[in-house]
């Protein structure tokens, strides 16, 4: 059994936001009888208050821009390394060679053949799908994290930060050897910090 090789990565912190997004009252749809109508209050009840939407202003955009740029560079570096590992691990993979079993489940349609693929091929498709949108997913999640702070929804920041850590951990762990382990730096693991 080979020795475990630990790769340590730094966790992210929620940046402190001074600017605020512009809050604007809006309307919502609510079922009234047999049809949906626009209502001024939540669930058409005045006691529940008005629904609100938040819009960016020049101050909020300018405050998020340097954080987004720094985060995007870090994610792009991790993505470039993950692409190299992906092409190295799956070099020369062939669809026909990865078929483990072929069968026709319906006697009435003998040409409807189903192929069962190997575990390597299923993992290849999973990693390929992850690489397609992981950069945009991470940048959107991080921007959402800062938008929550600018909207004053502080109780949701820890959930948004968990989503960022989870997606980044998936990217860093992709196509590593079995004896490699990716962990976050520090005494608290951000992937399990909120578990009760």
Q: How do residues 113-152 score in pLDDT, each as one tens digit?
A: 999 999 999 999 999 999 999 999 999 999 999 999 999 9
Cβ atoms 171, 78 nearer than 8 A: yes
pLDDT at 196: 55
Distance CA 131, CA 86 (A): 9
Amino acid 68: pLDDT: 94
pTM for the whole structure? 0.84
Q: What is the pLDDT of residue 70?
A: 94
Task: Assess contact for 146 and 154: CB atoms under 8 A.
Answer: no
Counted residue by residue, the chain has a size of 196
pLDDT of 114 reads 92
Given a contact cutoff of 8 angstroms between Cβ atoms, the answer to whether 178 and 3 are in contact is no
Inter-residue contact 118 to 100 (CB < 8 Å)? yes
For the chain, list residues with pLDDT below 70. Answer: 1-2, 194-196
């Amino acid at each position: 059994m080979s020795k475990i090789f630990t790769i340590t990565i730094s966790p992210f912190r929620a940046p402190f936001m001074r600017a605020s997004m512009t809050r604007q009252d809006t309307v919502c749809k609510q079922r009234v009888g047999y049809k949906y109508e626009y209502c001024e209050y939540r669930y058409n009840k005045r006691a529940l208050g008005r629904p609100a939407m938040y819009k960016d202003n020049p101050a909020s955009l300018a405050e998020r821009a340097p954080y987004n740029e720094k985060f995007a560079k870090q994610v792009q570096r991790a993505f470039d390394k993950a692409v190299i590992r992906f092409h190295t691990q799956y070099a020369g993979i062939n669809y026909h060679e990865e078929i483990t079993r072929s069968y026709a489940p319906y006697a009435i349609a003998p040409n409807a053949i189903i192929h069962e693929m190997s575990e390597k091929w299923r993992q290849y498709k999973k990693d390929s799908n992850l690489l397609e949108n992981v950069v945009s997913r991470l940048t959107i999640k991080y921007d959402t994290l800062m938008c929550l702070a600018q909207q004053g929804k502080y109780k949701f920041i820890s959930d948004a930060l968990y989503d960022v850590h989870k997606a980044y951990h998936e990217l860093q762990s992709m196509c590593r050897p079995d004896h490699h382990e990716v962990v976050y730096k520090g005494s608290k693991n951000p992937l399990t910090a909120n578990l009760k």
